[in-house]
Structure 1
Amino acid sequence: MNPDDAVNLQVRNRLPAETLRSSHGWGILEAEHVAMRRPRRIEFNLHSSRHYLALLNFYRGDGETFADELPCSTLRDVRGKLVFIPAGCRLQGWSQPETTPIAFTAAYLDPNLCSHLSTDRPQLSPMLHVEHPLLTQLLLQLNRVLAQPDMYSRVYVESLAVLLLSEIMNCQAIDRSLGRPVERPKFKGGLASWQHRAVRDYIEENLPQDLSLAELAAIARLSPYHFCRAFKEAVGEPPHRYQMGRRVERAKALLTDPTLSITHIAMAVGYSSPSRFTTLFRQVTGHSPRDYRKKMI
């Protein structure tokens, strides 16, 4: 992650190995989980070229949080609260925590995900210490992805990024100054036949590859946001699930050859870990690869 895009934490009297920070990137989404086991007073600031969404999990004895256009928040119990800062806006403040650990999970979203928005529509606005059950669940899932990033495909994680930003846009779809619904981006339906065929063929030809959402969207000449919605409309399932289904179908054909090992088949369909391949194969078919082979041969 570009350090200039990440939230900057300055900790008073920080002790060695006091703050644990894990991060991972997938192109249109960068994510991190921060945990401070022995909390100290912290000062924080952010001025990122990406949209920032964070799920907080701590209680502060005192503190102030500032964001562009919003009044200062002095809320102490920020457990389960969300902060959203659009790209280019500033976040700053300080927190004097209690004795409980400080933790938060953050997503840094590429603004190009919503580049389809025209300039005459209201821009995204910062939000401080709000509650939103779906966004909370999505960030908890992102935290699970961070714990085991190799268990999730790039298309899956980037689709999660589109869902996060889509939900932020939905919850800001009321113009506060007018008190009436704002016109949302029009969605024209599924993929054209040439788009469907081109994307399907590309996935099939590159089945072992960890394809990106932007890569697939470019083939259809759509933004990642529109592509996700159009693909699901046309196919009936999101891109990552379609890719997984095609990998399983390819694996089924390979399993009929007794000379091929399970490890070889796993790698041939895009899984470097045989255990991950076995888990996903059982999830789709209800059988382990070995049991499926015994049944078919």
Structure 2
Amino acid sequence: MATSSLSTALTSGTRFDPRVSQPPRHTKLRLLDCRSIFSGAPIAPTDRHGDRLRPGRTKPEGPCPSVEISPADGVKRRAVSWPGTTAEIVQATSSGRIEYRSHAHVHLLVLCERGARREGETYIEGLPRSTLRDVTRKLTFVPAGHEYCDWHEPRTAARMVFFYFDPATLPVPATSDEHEVSLAPRLFFEDAALFATAQKLTALIEGPASDDCSYLEALGRVLAHELMRVNQGSTPGKHAVRGGLAAWQQRTVTAYIEEHLSEAVPLAQLAGLVSLSTYHFCRAFKQSFGLPPHRYHTSRRIERAKALLAKPVFSVTDIGLTLGFSETSSFTAAFRKATGLTPTAYHRSLA
């Protein structure tokens, strides 16, 4: 995957053809002064030493950071731009409430390297709101034109990386028409390959080899391809398999449930993800999995609870709260109904 992606060239409005050799390009890497982005002044490009560029010199070719953060002095921001893409590293420095907002014409990928919140809520236009407490190693994708809002009172200092993509420079799958590619919003999901590439790119930006612009741009292309791969996995087909959900529908729904185990997932939301009515979705889901959606969701919660109970560092109360049960008693009742044992008895049986 990485080898083929590194050899690609992303050109605006042009589909990549692996049969045609691509001439080498020289990337101009620029650091961006994030302090002036939302102060009403135009963004000021700087060189690697933080000095502002003289008039007439080349400006960054990537999109400007579009996430507004309030209070502005509650975080440290550092953005690096190259053709078609900008990466912005954001480190929280305040223990108070911090808000993030964006509604822009660029795609936004959010990498949360670490972060746990006492209180908070995240919203992407088109998806249910999430109050997930621990968002460490989670990814969020906001397509161009979608509203993104997040607020939290941090329990630990959050560190995030925002990747901004110019829609015109994203690779178009060979099986798709570039005018028909539609990217779906995703909130707090996990993908090992995408996360690893984003983290490697972040480390390169912060490391001593950050002057290697060709390598940085190549990794940026890999990240773009990984993003499109994830999106293809959730791209709707035209018809469902008779009597059950199509393979893409099963992947979409189960991935969404896994990503939101600790939350109440509305049936209408699941049906909407796969373009079915609530009635037909329930019938097709049961045909595919042998359980109604609600019972499947509960069963996945119990399986996750079993895995957590195998680790002695977690208490029964903590596990119940992590999985969205408001009371230890309700968690215990659900666990006993599914397994015949209380969580404590199950934990002891593993000793």
TM-score by structure 1 length?
0.54
Pairwise CA distance, 1:63: 1.1
**Partner residue of 1:64?**
121
Deviation, structure 1 residue 111? 1.2
User: Retained in 2: the 8 A contact 1:21–1:34?
Assistant: yes
Preserved CA contact (<8 Å) 1:5 1:50: no
- Counterpart residue number, 2:68: 8
Task: Give runs of aligned pairs for residues 9-28 of structure 1, distance below 5 A.
Answer: 9-11=69-71, 18-28=74-84
Aligned equivalents of 1:114, 1:147: Cα separation in 2 = 24
1:131 to 190, 201, 224: 190
Q: Secondary structure at the match of 2:83?
A: coil
Residue 205 of structure 2 aligns to which amino acid in structure 1?
Answer: L
Distance 1:50 1:158 in 2: 18
Please tell me the residue identity of whatever aligns with 2:81.
G
Amino acid at match of 2:70: Q
Letter in 1 for 2:83: G
- Tell me the amino acid that sits aligned with residue 44 of structure 1: Y
Deviation digits for residues 239-274 of structure 1 (CA, Å, limit 9, x no counterpart): xxxxxxxxxxxxxxxxxxxxxxxxxxxxxxxxxxxx
Q: 2:96: which partner in 1? A: 40
Q: Does 1:172 align with 2:231?
A: yes
CA contact (8 A) 1:5 1:46 kept: no
Match of 2:134 among 74, 77, 94: 77
Q: Tell me the number of residue pairs that the alignment of Structure 1 and Structure 2 aligns.
A: 177
Shift of 1:60: 0.7
Who is 1:141 aligned against? Answer: 200
Q: Unpaired segments of 5 or more residues in structure 2?
A: 1-31, 38-63, 241-245, 250-351
Other structure's SS at 2:77 match: strand
Q: Flag the 1:88–1:149 CA change in 2: closer, same or farther, 3 A.
A: farther
> What is the SS of the residue equivalent to 1:70?
coil
Q: Whole-Å Cα distance in 1 between the matches of residues 170 and 200 of structure 2? A: 22
Q: 1:118 to 1:58 in 2, by over 3 A?
A: same
Amino acid at match of 1:42: I
Whole-angstrom distance in 2 between the partners of 1:139 and 1:148: 14
Q: Give 1:151's match in structure 2, choosing from 194, 210, 235.
A: 210
Runs of 4+ in 1 over 6 A off after TM superposition: none
Which residue of the other structure, out of 2, 16, 29, is the alignment partner of 2:85? 29
C-alpha change, 1:137 and 1:119, in structure 2 (3 Å) is closer
In the aligned structure 1, how far is the partner of 2:209 from the partner of 2:103?
30
Distance in 1 between residues matched to 2:87 and 2:70, nearest whole Å: 19
SS state at 1:58 partner: strand
Kindly provide the CA deviation profile for residues 178-202 of structure 1, in whole angstroms up to 9, marking residues without a partner as x: 54459xxxxxxxxxxxxxxxxxxxx
After superposition, the Cα gap between the structure-2 partners of 1:50 and 1:155, relative to the gap in structure 1 and judged at 3 Å, is farther
The alpha-carbon distance between structure 1 residues 181 and 113, as it changes in their structure 2 partners (threshold 3 A), is farther
* Structure holding more helix per residue: 1
Shift of 1:132: 0.9
Report the identity percentage: 28
- After TM superposition, give the deviation of residue 34 of structure 1 in Å: 0.9
Amino acid paired to 1:90: E
